[in-house]
Amino acid sequence: MRLLPNLSSLTLNKRREEAVGTPFAPSTTPVNVTQVDWLQLFQTIQNSIENVEIVFLISTIPIPTSNKNLRLRFVANKYQNNATRFRVESEAEPSRPCIEFVVMPDATNLAGVKLDSLFYNLSDEGLATCQMQPKHRETRGAGSIAIEMIQAISVHMGQWMYLSDAAAPLSRSDGSDIPLWMRGASLTVTHSIARGAGYYQKRGFMPQNHVENVVLVYGEAAKVQPLAYFAGFYILQSVLLQWTELIFNTPINKLAEAIRTGFTPILQQIQARQSAAFPNIPKASQHPIFALFSQGNLKWHADYLEYDAVGADGLSPIEILKQIINEIADDTNNCPERVGAASYFDFSIRGLMRMATHENSIFQSTNDREATTFKYEVFDFANRAWKYVRGSEVYGTKLICPFMVHNGALGYMGVVESNIPGGVPVADFVTVDTNFAVQFEPVPQPQTPARPPQPPQFFVNDDPDAGGIEELE
């Protein structure tokens, strides 16, 4: 994956050349994650003739301002296409790693650090036997801490991270239940509806197509002006957050008109603020994300949601959503006045989903089939309204976390809570957490096989005064 100019001295190819002939010396006593030469580890594994495994523990370092507590046991070995694989194994399901990331060399088109698995598709027994402490059911936030650990390793390799987002909400790592409407759905969509930002988005991951477009427009400027990437990714993250807010927190009755006329002023405000803040880099108006949300595209998208026939009955996406709401409300004798509205269509998608666990919920007396149907229609509408604009992808499943240098710190453009109660989450630079200790297990040394007993060897003594044959000592 592409690197920022600030990190160019750490590219795998350059460091591999420097590392030739220098064996990796793992520390069997705990050291900070920044003190490990991760690229030398990569080189050592790649140069090994046999399939050498390097095993290490990575643990949170207790600090007064944090309650993070996690220790993972990683096994690193050579993988296909000259890659190095790092995995946390499950004792019950050894073929399905609890966590897995792969480091790809620069010589491939996939250079970077790819997060392949994060507690994905494991049984309860598989999760319970992951090589980690505390165990998965005994702690909250294990996935988030694991991502931070891998980010700390990645940034000190000089590599961006990427992944394919297929995550769905699990039972929480502490064993508590998740709301009914979130079960079996996309983790990114559910978090975007409920919290205003996706799970990975909050941690700096953005859609690959948009990240690559930012690199094309801001890459040259970034070679001389480190703030260029900061500005480019700040604008991208800010626009995506505002789009999420518009789609999921606008009353259904007003959504189409809000897309037509309400989003452009928001974009203009973002452009004006960033043009003033970063005058010496490409103008904010040149940012490729604004072409996607042009007035023409927004009008087309609003008309599609309001008027285009997509259902079997010739209904538009908004009409389909209204129909299913009416059906469930009629079946349960619900009246919206109970929840403070004249119509259920005065609620946003977020409002409807929050009612899913409310005691006066629209779901209160529905059966599982009706609740499942409603959830399906809401998520189908979310995909039509939120993920695409005029056939172009806004939120795809291929994500990249681009690292950057800002004010001397290594970090990424993450998402934080607004200072305004109930406000839209905001983009902000987040420094990569390096409060992790790493301790390597001793690397087994190849043993020279013992020489088997040899029969006595003899030679002929040609000395005429000697006795002929002698035994070698």
- The secondary structure element, H or E, covering residue 147 is helix 142-155
Give, in order, the Cα–Cα distances in Å from 97 to each of 19, 120, 163, 417.
Answer: 30, 8, 16, 33
Average pLDDT of the segment spanning 272-278? 85
User: 72: which residues sit within 8 A by CB, 6+ positions away?
Assistant: 57, 58, 59, 88, 99, 131, 132, 146, 149
Give, in order, the Cα–Cα distances in Å from 69 to each of 6, 20, 147, 422.
Answer: 32, 37, 14, 29
pLDDT of residue 66: 82
pLDDT at 157 over 50: yes
Which of the two residues, 275 and 269, has the higher pLDDT score? Answer: 269
Average pLDDT of the segment spanning 99-104? 94
Q: Whole-angstrom Cα distance, residue 261 to residue 54? A: 57
Q: Among the listed ranges 119-123, 271-275, 385-389, 469-473, which one has the minimum average pLDDT value?
A: 469-473
Q: Whole-angstrom Cα distance, residue 293 to residue 259? A: 10
Cross-strand bridge partners of residue 31: 438
74 dihedral zone (left: phi>0; alpha: psi -120 to 50; beta): beta
pLDDT of residue 99: 96
Burial group, residue 378, by CB count within 10 angstroms (0-12, 13-18, 19+): buried
The pLDDT mean for the chain works out to: 82
pLDDT digits (tens, 9 = 90+) for 109-149: 557 899 999 998 888 899 999 999 999 878 788 999 999 99
Q: Whole-angstrom Cα distance, residue 41 to residue 114? A: 17
Average pLDDT of the segment spanning 413-428? 94
**Residue 112: what residue type?**
G
Burial group, residue 354, by CB count within 10 angstroms (0-12, 13-18, 19+): middle
Average pLDDT of the segment spanning 25-42? 90
pLDDT of residue 30: 93
Q: pLDDT band for 1, please (50, 70, 90 cuts).
A: very low
Q: pTM for this one?
A: 0.85
Quickly list H helices, 156-294.
187-195, 199-202, 208-222, 227-248, 255-257, 263-277, 288-292
Can the peptide bond before residue 134 be classed as cis, meaning omega within 30 degrees of 0? yes
pLDDT of residue 354: 76
pLDDT of residue 315: 92
Q: Whole-angstrom Cα distance, residue 128 to residue 251? A: 42
Q: Among the listed ranges 84-88, 144-148, 187-191, 309-313, which one has the minimum average pLDDT value?
A: 309-313
Which of the two residues, 260 and 282, has the higher pLDDT score? Answer: 260
DSSP secondary structure string for all residues of 71-86? EEEEEEEE-GGG-EEE
**Residue 295: what residue type?**
Q
